[in-house]
Amino acid sequence: MTAEQLRFHLKLYFIMGSTNCNRNPLDVLKEAIDGGITFFQYREKGEGALKDEQKLNLALQLQKLCKKVNIPFIVNDDIDLAIAINADGVHIGQEDEPVEMVRKKIGNMILGVSVHNHEEAIMAMNAGADYFGIGPIFPTQTKTDAKPVQGVSLIKELRDKGISIPIVGIGGIHAENAHTVMEAGGDGVSVISAISLAPSVKEAARSIRKSVDTNHSPI
Ligand SMILES: Cc1ncsc1CCOP(=O)(O)O
Ligand SMILES: C=C1C=NC(C)=NC1=N
Ligand SMILES: [Mg+2]
C-alpha cells in the first residue's frame, strides 16, 4: 500500500479489544464497519485481556469481518500473532521491540508506531515506520498508562517541519473534537471508547467519519 493509499485509509481508525466493549466484539465491529470506519486495529490489552487460543480465535473472526469489506486489519503489540494470521500490519509503541527489528520480521506489512515527541518521530521514520499514532490528544480513561495529554502540538510541529508521513491522532477523540486533529494536519483519528462504548456504535462511527470527511485538509 502506498503512503497515499494509507493516508486515505487512516481517516477513521477504530481500535478495539474484548476489554473495550461490554457486548460481543464481533457485533461491535460489524456496526462500526456499517458506520464507516476505514481502518481497524485489534488491541487485546489490560485487565481481563484474552490470551492464547481465545485471543487467536477472536483475532481470526475480527480479521474475517475486515477482509470482507477490504478494511486493513492491524494487530497491536503482538508481532507473532500478526505474522501467524497474515495480518495487514502491526502497531507498536516505544516500549515494544525496536522499530528496525519489527520491520525485519514483518517485511512490507504496514508498520504503525506511537510517537510522543520529535525525536521519537524522526527515529521511527528513519527505522521504517509507515504511519504515526500521536497522543493522547485529549484526556482518556481507556489507556491507564497514557503519556501526558499533548493536544495537537506535536502534529502541528511535524507538519511545520515538512514531515508528511501519515499521522493519526489518538486519545479521547469523538465527533465534536475530531476536527482539531484534521485541522492540525492529521490524516485521520484513532478511536476506541467513543465508538466501542457508544449506545449506537454505528451512529457514533458515522458521526466521527462525517466530521473527518468535512475537515479533511489534504496537505
Ligand atoms: C491506545 C491509546 N494511546 C494513547 S491514548 C489511547 C487510548 C485511546 O482510547 P479512547 O479513544 O477511548 O480515548
Ligand atoms: C497506542 C496507540 C497509538 N496509536 C495507534 C494508532 N494505536 C495504538 N495502539
Ligand atoms: Mg504497545
Confidence of residue 1 (pLDDT cuts 50, 70, 90): confident
Distance CA 5, CA 10 (A): 9
**71 grid coordinates:** 478494511
Interval 38-66 mean pLDDT: 97
The band of 2, judged by pLDDT with boundaries at 50, 70 and 90, is: confident
Catalytic residue among 30, 45, 143, 156: 143
Chain mean pLDDT for the chain:
96
Sign, CA torsion 213/137/109/158? positive
Q: How far is the CA of 28 from the centre of ligand 2 (A)?
A: 19
Q: State yes or no: pLDDT of 88 exceeds 60.
A: yes
Gyration radius (Cα) of the chain, Å: 16
Ligand 2 pocket residue status of 140, Cβ below 6 Å: no
pLDDT at 164: 96
Q: Note the pLDDT tens digit of each residue in 95-124.
A: 999 999 999 999 999 999 999 999 999 999
Q: Report how far ligand 2's centroid is from the alpha carbon of 13 (Å).
A: 10
User: Can you tell me the mean pLDDT for 139-159?
Assistant: 96
**23 alpha carbon – ligand 2 mean position (Å):** 22
- By the 8 A CB rule, do 134 and 168 touch? yes
Residue 143 annotated among the catalytic residues of the structure: yes
Q: Which residues sit with Cβ closer than 5 angstroms to ligand 3, an ion?
A: 77, 93, 96
Label residue 142 by pLDDT band (50, 70, 90): very high
Asked whether the predicted pLDDT for residue 218 surpasses 80, the reply is no
At residue 134, does pLDDT exceed 60? yes
User: Is residue 5 pLDDT above 70, yes or no?
Assistant: yes
Q: Whose CA is nearest to atom 1 of ligand 1?
A: 143
Share of the chain above pLDDT 90, in %: 95
Ligand 2 contact, 114 CB (< 6 A): yes
CA atoms of 83 and 65, how far apart (whole Å)? 18
Of the candidates 174, 185, 184, the residue with the CA atom closest to the CA atom of residue 211: 174
Residues pairing with 114 in the sheet: 133
Confidence at residue 215, expressed as pLDDT on a 0 to 100 scale: 87
Q: Is the pLDDT of residue 208 over 60?
A: yes
